Amino acid sequence: MRLRRNWHGEAALPAMPGVLGVGPDDYRRDWAGEFGRIAPIHVEVGAGKGDFLLEAAKRFPQIDFVGVERVLTVLYIAAKKNQARPLPNLRFLPADAGAMGLFFEPAQIDRIYLHFSDPWPKSRHEPRRLTAKGKLLMYGGLLKPGGQIHCKTDQEELFRYSLHEFVKQGWSVGKITEDLYRTGFEGNIQTEYERRFVQMGQPIFLLEAWRP
């Protein structure tokens, strides 16, 4: 079911804890200054309602997390969960994935998460996929040497497409599973979509890739 747009919530976003500005003055942000320290930076692209980010930021306080989300009504839901007790190592960036290069320096990110991304199944929409060639080139420029991308999806076609693109572009790929919950994989943090798919009995596909 499509989420009804929350105009009031979107208007409130700029004043909410952890929500960043996206104007020209905010480009190539000083992330060490933003978080008040030098620490690894992990970015979730398509942060959704924030369940993964909030749990990850609580579980790993030594890491700084940034959630990139272009749908402001969805981002408001995530930011609201962080409002009562704002996590010092969590920020929300209301931007499109394709604009990440405006806000991060080259080789600045340690890890990128792509969780349950829109599969854009039609061939003409391939460039919009978050694991298309152009996006992988962008991520590769923003990741540090040895930086990783972690992907999870319920869409088998997207999983196989992504695996093919990573290999084709020279990324190293490992921890591949076609059914996450039958592999004994430890340390997994669920997203809101993931919980729904698991309850429906759908297999979850996972892969991890290292920057070439």
Over the stretch 126-168, which tens digit does the pLDDT of each residue have?
A: 999 999 999 999 999 999 999 999 999 999 999 999 999 999 9
In the chain, where does DSSP find H-type helix?
A: 7-12, 31-35, 51-59, 72-81, 100-103, 133-142, 156-168, 192-199
How far is Cα 116 from Cα 197, in angstroms, rounded to an integer?
10
Q: State yes or no: pLDDT of 193 exceeds 90.
A: no
Model-level pTM? 0.95
- Tens of pLDDT along 164-187? 999 999 999 989 999 999 887 888
First-to-final CA distance of the chain: 39
pLDDT score for 11: 95
Residue written as tokens 């572009």? 169
Q: For 73-120, how does the pLDDT look when each residue is reduced to its tens digit (9 = 90+)?
A: 999 999 999 999 999 999 999 999 999 999 999 999 999 999 999 999
The token pair that represents 126 in the structure block? 């391939």
pLDDT score at 41: 98
Please tell me the predicted confidence (pLDDT) of residue 22. 92
Tell me the domain boundaries of the chain. 39-210
In the sheet where 90-93 sits, what is the strand order?
Answer: 90-93, 64-68, 41-45, 109-115, 143-153, 205-210, 172-177
Which pLDDT value is given to residue 1?
57
- Does the domain spanning 39-210 belong to CATH 3.40.50.150? yes
Amino acid symbol at 39:
A
Q: Tens digits of per-residue pLDDT, 37-84?
A: 999 999 999 999 999 999 999 999 999 999 999 999 999 999 999 999
Nearest by Cα to 206 from 40, 187, 121: 187
Strand-pairing partners, residue 41, are 64
Is pLDDT above 80 for 2?
no
pLDDT of residue 125: 94
The pLDDT of residue 25 is 87
**Of 25, 26, 30, 118, which residue is the catalytic one?**
118
**Catalytic (active site) residue 96:** no
